[in-house]
Amino acid sequence: MWWLLALPALADPPAPIVGGVPAAPGDWPDVVALYTIGDSVGCTGTLVAPDLVLTAAHCVAGLSRVVVGTTDLASGGRTIGVASVTSHPNPYTELDVALVQLSETVTDIEPRLLMRDCLVDALSDGIEVEIAGFGATDAFGSEFPDALMRARIQVRDADCSNLSAGCYPEVSPGAELIAGGDGVDSCTGDSGGPLYLLGDDEAWLAGITSRAAQPAQHVCGDGGIYVRSDAIADWIVSLGLDLPHPDCEGVNVRPHLSADDLVVRRNTVDAVALTVSDGNAEDQHELEVVDPGRVQAWLEGEVLLVRTSSTFSGETAVRVRVTDDGDPPMSSELDVVVRAAPSARLPVGCVTGGGPVGWLAFAALALLTRRRCS
């Protein structure tokens, strides 16, 4: 069930818009159905260890059992009881996640690895991800099939830093993302389910379904907010659980630039070295100046050169972009701070030390003292 904020009144009922397709047998075997007391599917979860299911914290009230190992709840799967539940310390103000300890170990399903470490940079705005769940398939969140549904959606804001993308102020920037919409979305019953980062031959759990994006015209279909798995990795480890580290093979990670601030003199050419970091050591990189700011700027290899005018003062920033040759290509940008060197000024106030300026100041002070004493 979705953790929903107030929604506007709905228009005439549209055709089903969630936009998913039934999963084939064997697809996403780590997806788990969560049952509350009774026979209704309440939420979805993901097997992340042989006896642990990761889901949304708002899903665990009244949780009684889970069903694993099926894409059709009407004809398959096995039921396992719940031994205990541990929710995040601040599930309603920070991260809507919980870990469910199963009463027995699942030995025939490979747990899903979390997106973390070097994989984090592969999650970016605009990439295609996949969601799965046992939730509703209509805009009102009321039609529930027995089948596990899956859908490809696009990440709209990978760290929920853009309010215009649907990440309202109550989200946790950097710890959540927004994805989907335009009729393809997670829905009621999909809460707690997975959002997968897709590699060439593997997929990682990148997000946990939490709630609807705002504003929304429908209960489902306008996009959802997901807790990022890398944001909860430390919390899981703090519980004493062993969390395997993924490798980056098959995933093109984003390169990064770093550079020191550049202190420049007026009407001169100065330079600073750029450092490219990339988890894919074999990648080649192309650098370009995107915005020179208030100076002339160009690149020679991985060195940024800057020419200032005779009137340059204060500071500006030169924006540089690095792009790798991976598939798909990944890029990032860095603002290199360019700051004018302090200009030489005559000292004011008390002056100590030698040199002509010091002696002149001392002589003037002595003359002034004599005049005041006369």
Final residue before a domain boundary, out of 182, 211, 238: 238
Query: Given its phi and psi angles, is residue 69 left (phi above 0), alpha (psi -120 to 50 degrees) or beta?
Result: left
User: In this structure, are 205 and 296 located in the same domain?
Assistant: no
Residue 216 located in a structural domain: yes
User: In this structure, are 78 and 199 located in the same domain?
Assistant: yes
* Number of domains composing the chain: 2
User: In this structure, are 66 and 136 located in the same domain?
Assistant: yes
Q: In this structure, are residues 120 and 202 in contact, taking their beta carbons and an 8 Å threshold?
A: no
User: In this structure, are 89 and 196 located in the same domain?
Assistant: yes
Residue given tokens 């209704």 in the structure block? 40
Nearest C-alpha neighbor of 172 from the set 136, 124, 137, 207: 207
The C-alpha atoms of residue 317 and residue 336 are separated, in whole angstroms, by: 5
Give the model confidence (pLDDT) of 86-103 as tens digits. 999 988 778 999 999 999
User: In this structure, are 216 and 93 located in the same domain?
Assistant: yes
C-alpha 337 chain-centroid distance = 25
Give the model confidence (pLDDT) of 105-122 as tens digits. 999 999 999 999 888 888
Residue 355 located in a structural domain: no
Which residues are the active-site residues? Answer: 58, 96, 191
User: In this structure, are 221 and 261 located in the same domain?
Assistant: no
- Cβ atoms < 10 Å from Cβ of 273: 11
User: In this structure, are 97 and 128 located in the same domain?
Assistant: yes
Token code pair at residue 202: 């593997």
- The per-residue pLDDT for 169 is 66
User: In this structure, are 203 and 261 located in the same domain?
Assistant: no
Nearest C-alpha neighbor of 21 from the set 186, 195, 150, 108: 150
Query: CATH number for the domain including 81?
Result: 2.40.10.10
Query: CATH number for the domain including 316?
Result: 2.60.40.10
Residue 86 located in a structural domain: yes
Give the model confidence (pLDDT) of 194-233 as tens digits. 999 998 788 999 999 999 888 778 888 889 999 999 999 9
Give the model confidence (pLDDT) of 134-149 as tens digits. 988 877 667 788 889 9
- The per-residue pLDDT for 248 is 67
Residues 6+ apart with CB under 8 A from 129: 123, 152, 153, 154, 155, 179, 195, 196, 197, 198, 206, 207
User: In this structure, are 260 and 138 located in the same domain?
Assistant: no
Q: What range does the domain containing 260 cover?
A: 256-340
Per-residue burial over 296-316, b = 16 or more CB atoms within 10 Å of its CB, e = otherwise: ebeeeeeebbbebeeebeeeb
User: In this structure, are 233 and 264 located in the same domain?
Assistant: no
User: In this structure, are 95 and 228 located in the same domain?
Assistant: yes
Q: Which helix (H) or strand (E) holds 179?
A: strand 176-179
